[in-house]
A and B are shown apart, each in its own frame.
Chain A
Amino acid sequence: MVDKIKVNNLCCFYGGKEVISSLNINVVKNEILSIIGPSNSGKTSFLRTLNRMNDMNVNFSRKGNIFLDDENIFDMNPENLRKRVGMLFAMPIPLPMSIYDNISYAPKRLGIASNRNMDEVVEKSLRDSSLWDEVKDRLNSSAIKLSGGQQQRLCIARILAIEPEVILFDEPCSGLDPISTAKVEEAMLKLKEKYTIVLVTNNVKQASRVGTRTAFFLMGELVEIDNTAKLFVSPRDKRTGDYITGRFG
């Protein structure tokens, strides 16, 4: 087991208010780490710190360090970091352009693929996100016209096109119906073989279905982290048990 991400004593603040307090956690290579917890428990703040999307927020500040392959992410160029740590948002955000352009957008800007093999990159990304069969005949139509679930898988394909090492999922199915959710989860399980995944979810069942390990956050603290099967069957902390059985949250 190799640690892909290591978090050392991370504290995060929004305008002086502590939202994550001295967090120590690791993410193992090629696992899906699910993070569950009620709202305001710091899950999303943690995720947005992992690829430094919080840098854009002027009220945000933090202490402590995060290492990606033993390299401190706060010493890295944020653009290089985000190329290695992709992020999927809660609401699907297709860019206002065609399906093809949505996927070729980032590789073009980052100079990853030349125009000649762009077709291959687009096809491979769409296949890996299980969307290819549904859109292969209309790659030039607008991405906005896709259904919610298709849009979310398009956003996954867009991340795959830049070949990241880690993918962060921020409640990726909160706006989707059960069938679309199943498709996104299916894509996630397939991706695990090549990528390391951190999944924040409000859906406890989703964590139990796809998570290799599961972490429970409460009020900015990591209460418990364990193998998913073990955490769901015999949680060590009473609060974890209460949450997963639906007694609060």
Chain B
Amino acid sequence: MNFKLNPKLSQKIAYAVLFLSTILVIIPVLIIVFNIVKNGYSAISWEFLTTMPKDGMRAGGILPAILGTLSIVLCAIMITLPVGVCAAIYLNEYAKDNLLTRIIKLAIVNLAGVPSVVYGLFGLGIFVMLLGCGVSIIAGALTLSIMELPVIITTARGALNSVPYAFREASWSLGVSRWQTIRHIVLPNALPGIMTGAILSIARISGETAPILFTAAAFYVPHLPKSMFDQVMALPYHLYIISTQIPNMPKNIIFGTALVLLMLVLSMSLIAIVARIYFRKIRKW
């Protein structure tokens, strides 16, 4: 049998399939957000955000977890951003295409593919035990920063690449050195892209649980972190504990905690989007 679809019908089917696939992407996000907001908003209050947990975490606030996550993440980005940007500059502006460069690039790709729990174990072995940082903010931050390095390098290289090559040539042709060209022409113009990548990285690592599981996070700490070498509570890990380890946990606190984590991550992404729009507007070429 010679079966052939009417071209108008096939066009309609193709359109429907593509459109439905797009809708399918949005639906889970909407359900997740709706579910969390519906069950969690009643827990959100000023007190919830600014006090210590009480009654074996069944009441009170989640301040130490918020502060713990913020301090780990800020430390991590302060370590990974300079190193990652410098590496990206080297790879993009200086490195010749030889064996070493290819090995480095391969390593970066592989680093990005390592499961996050492996980073956690690596951090436990190297930072917590070998270097003697103990389970602490600094050990968790170092682990997260190594995990985020390939992402930072990749986005920074993209930003550097987006600066037209002609600008570099114009600068070199005036006798300006390569480093001065990078410092005064390439970096200022790549900065918006680098910053956007950094903010998105912050958002991503705020929600990571496995890397900090063995390296920074604690079940419960009765005081706020005082130094880099303190154990801390962290939002993602805290969420895991209260939803699985504590009996008779009020549901709205679990969802409230999830809501806080979600808002933290979403607001970071929002800042990144706004920053990108702003920088695109003031871009001069």
Q: By the criterion CB–CB under 8 Å, are A106 and B284 in contact?
A: no
State which of B166, B167, B173, B176 has its C-beta within 8 Å of the C-beta of A110: B176
Report the nearest B residue to A158, measured CB to CB.
B174
Q: By the criterion CB–CB under 8 Å, are B175 and A53 in contact?
A: no
Q: Does A13 contact B (CB under 8 A)?
A: no
- B residues near A144, Cβ cutoff 8 Å: 284-285
Min Cβ gap A62→B in Å is 18
- B residues near A79, Cβ cutoff 8 Å: 175-177
- A residues near B96, Cβ cutoff 8 Å: 58
- A residues near B169, Cβ cutoff 8 Å: 53, 56, 89, 93
Min Cβ gap B284→A in Å is 4
State which of A82, A96, A106 has its C-beta within 8 Å of the C-beta of B167: A96
Report B151-181 residues with CB < 8 Å from chain A CB.
Answer: 166-167, 169-177, 180
Q: By the criterion CB–CB under 8 Å, are B285 and A162 in contact?
A: no
Number of interface residues of B (CB under 8 A): 20
- B residues near A158, Cβ cutoff 8 Å: 174
Q: By the criterion CB–CB under 8 Å, are B173 and A142 in contact?
A: no
Q: By the criterion CB–CB under 8 Å, are A51 and B166 in contact?
A: no
Q: Does A95 contact B (CB under 8 A)?
A: yes
A161 to B180, CA, bound (A): 17
Q: Does A105 contact B (CB under 8 A)?
A: yes
- B residues near A82, Cβ cutoff 8 Å: 172-175
Using CB atoms and an 8 Å cutoff, list the residues of chain A in contact with chain B.
51, 53, 56, 58, 79-84, 86-87, 89, 91, 93, 95-97, 105-106, 109-110, 142, 144, 155, 158-159, 162
Q: Please list 15 pairs of residues, one from A and one from B, whose beta carbons are closer than 8 Å in the complex, sorted by A's number.
A: A56-B169, A79-B177, A83-B175, A93-B169, A96-B167, A105-B174, A105-B184, A106-B171, A106-B175, A106-B176, A109-B177, A142-B284, A144-B284, A155-B170, A158-B174
Sample of 10 more A-B contacts, CB < 8 Å, known A79-B175, A95-B171, A106-B175: A58-B97, A86-B175, A96-B167, A96-B283, A105-B174, A106-B176, A109-B184, A155-B170, A158-B174, A162-B175
